């Protein structure tokens, strides 16, 4: 019979948060194997850091053995999980076998399906009643606690990052129609557009970069139209794509939709200073009157902060939908990019490896799909570099995968671009 833990996803994430980036490998399950101390010992001996969970009617009580089941004293932590409320009591060093012997202040009797806890431990774990208590247990599970990113997995992640960097370093715009693909970043003020530019630059340069100004001013810090080339430490010259940053969107001010039309059609020069009340006109001295395909936008990316995307005003949502209609009219393909995904509650670094299958992220994808109508396959997620000094290969992979999808989408636009408009 296959063994599956009784822990819910939220409970498992709660335990990972308190015991570090751990993966819990189920070694023993009493209802499958046997309610027997001997069975538990035989399955858990010399397995390294071990966690025992006792499921009572109202809570989960646990023991964390830092060095697992050994015949020597090991550092021991008792804890309780009531729904997702966690309490712990680091009690010091125990002989693991003593937890199953009379006289212990934390006594597990699997054959009787009970656990007896001293008043001191009950109080520390905020269990009721606070005096010594004997509780019935419905299940007992034991887990080996492994590092989520061990040396083998870390090596695989570094190799994947290297492969993605190589793949993107050899990217070429479709049909050599343009020298550099232009990607326009749009989104609410403070969503992370400039941070994404810096993050992409950082990954390719191999160190954190902060060329695009980032801040938290109420009106945003990007008040100019900027086109950023990307340099790679492994390739001479600029890579064949540009990231175009702009003034943020807001309900009553921010980037004017007429300015967006001019950017899309290649009329807006680099470093143009936006005026939310007065969009650019053909009378501007640097206005590009006869733009070619290389001046135009080939893909648009709507950038949203994953933590606030559901709190956007109705007016701003309507404005973004209006912009999407304009893009569809122009035939310009566009995607959504959710930033700050690592700041979602209970997200661990290990979740970033398979982020699209993570429950909180799935809920955010559904929210964006409902609000704006994006297909799930057109919604990307990243964790930007903001205050870090060192690069993280897991973050790099998210950034590179998103960029790869963006560039492929731009090539689809170029492939479909009418010959008579080039």
pLDDT in 10s for each residue of the chain, 422 residues: 578 999 988 888 888 888 877 889 999 999 999 999 999 999 999 899 999 999 998 899 999 998 899 888 888 999 999 877 889 887 778 889 899 987 778 999 999 999 999 888 888 898 877 666 889 999 999 999 988 766 667 788 889 999 999 999 899 999 999 999 999 999 998 899 999 999 999 999 998 887 665 554 444 456 889 999 999 887 788 999 999 999 999 887 788 889 999 999 999 999 999 887 888 888 998 899 999 999 999 999 999 999 999 999 999 999 999 999 999 998 999 999 999 999 888 788 778 888 898 889 999 999 999 999 999 999 999 999 988 888 999 999 999 999 999 999 999 999 987 754 55
pLDDT of residue 210: 76
Give the three-class secondary structure for 2.
Answer: coil
CB atoms inside a 10 Å sphere around CB 398: 22
**Residue 395 backbone dihedrals phi, psi, to 5 degrees:** -60, -40
The span from the CA of 113 to the CA of 43, in Å, is 18
* Beta carbons of 314 and 372 less than 8 angstroms apart: no
The span from the CA of 97 to the CA of 112, in Å, is 17
pLDDT of residue 222: 62
The span from the CA of 399 to the CA of 236, in Å, is 22
CB atoms inside a 10 Å sphere around CB 281: 10
User: Read out DSSP for 121-155?
Assistant: HHHHTT-SSSS-EEEE-SEEEEEEEEETT-HHHHH
> What is the per-residue pLDDT across 159-180, written as a single tens digit (0 to 9) for each?
999 999 999 989 999 999 999 9
Nearest to 198 by CA among 407, 383, 356: 383
Q: Where in the chain is the domain with CATH 3.40.50.300?
A: 151-421
pLDDT of residue 1: 58
Q: At what angle do helices 151-169 and 193-205 cross, to 10 degrees?
A: 100
Q: Among all chains, which residue has been given the structure tokens 């731009």?
A: 410
For the domain made up of 151-421, the CATH class stated in words is alpha beta
* Beta carbons of 193 and 248 less than 8 angstroms apart: yes
The span from the CA of 301 to the CA of 187, in Å, is 8
**Residue 329 DSSP class:** H
pLDDT of residue 216: 47
Q: How far is CA 136 from CA 33, 71, 96, 153, 202, in A?
A: 19, 28, 21, 40, 55
């Amino acid at each position: 019979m296959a063994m599956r833990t009784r822990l819910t996803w939220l409970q498992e994430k709660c335990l990972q948060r308190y015991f570090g980036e751990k993966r819990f490998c189920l070694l023993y399950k009493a209802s499958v194997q046997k309610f027997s101390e001997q069975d538990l010992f035989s399955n858990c001996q010399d397995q390294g850091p071990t966690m025992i969970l006792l499921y009572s009617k109202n809570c989960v009580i646990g023991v964390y053995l830092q060095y697992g089941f050994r015949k020597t004293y090991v550092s021991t932590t008792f804890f309780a999980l009531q729904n997702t409320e966690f309490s712990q009591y680091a009690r010091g060093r125990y002989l693991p076998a003593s937890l199953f012997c009379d006289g212990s202040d934390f006594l597990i009797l699997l054959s009787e399906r009970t656990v007896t806890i001293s008043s001191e431990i009950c109080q520390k774990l905020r269990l009721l009643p606070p005096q010594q208590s004997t509780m019935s247990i419905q299940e007992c599970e034991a887990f080996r606690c492994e590092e989520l990113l061990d040396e083998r997995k870390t090596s695989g992640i570094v190799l994947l990052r290297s492969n993605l960097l190589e793949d993107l370093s050899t990217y070429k715009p479709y049909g050599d129609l343009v020298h550099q693909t232009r990607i326009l970043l749009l989104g609410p003020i403070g969503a992370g557009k400039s941070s994404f530019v810096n993050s992409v630059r950082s990954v390719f340069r191999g160190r954190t970069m902060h060329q695009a100004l980032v801040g938290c001013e109420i009106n945003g810090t990007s008040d100019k139209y900027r086109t950023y080339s990307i340099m790679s430490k492994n390739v001479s010259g600029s890579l064949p794509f540009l990231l175009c940053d702009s003034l943020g969107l807001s309900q009553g001010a921010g980037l004017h939709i007429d300015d967006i039309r001019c950017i899309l059609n290649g009329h807006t020069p680099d470093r143009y200073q936006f005026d939310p009340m007065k969009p650019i006109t053909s009378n501007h001295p640097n206005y590009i009157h006869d733009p070619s395909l290389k001046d135009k936008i080939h893909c648009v990316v709507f950038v949203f902060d994953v933590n606030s995307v559901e709190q956007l005003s109705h007016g701003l949502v309507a404005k973004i939908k209006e912009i999407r209609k304009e893009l569809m009219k122009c035939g310009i393909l566009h995607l959504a990019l959710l930033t700050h995904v690592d700041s979602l509650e209970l997200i661990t670094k290990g979740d970033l490896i398979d982020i699209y299958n993570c429950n909180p992220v799935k809920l955010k994808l559904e929210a964006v799909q409902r609000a704006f109508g994006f297909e799930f396959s057109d919604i990307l997620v990243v964790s930007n570099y903001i205050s870090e000094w060192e690069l993280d290969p897991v973050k790099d992979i998210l950034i590179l995968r998103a960029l790869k999808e963006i560039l492929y989408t731009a090539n689809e636009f170029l492939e479909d671009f009418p010959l008579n408009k080039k």
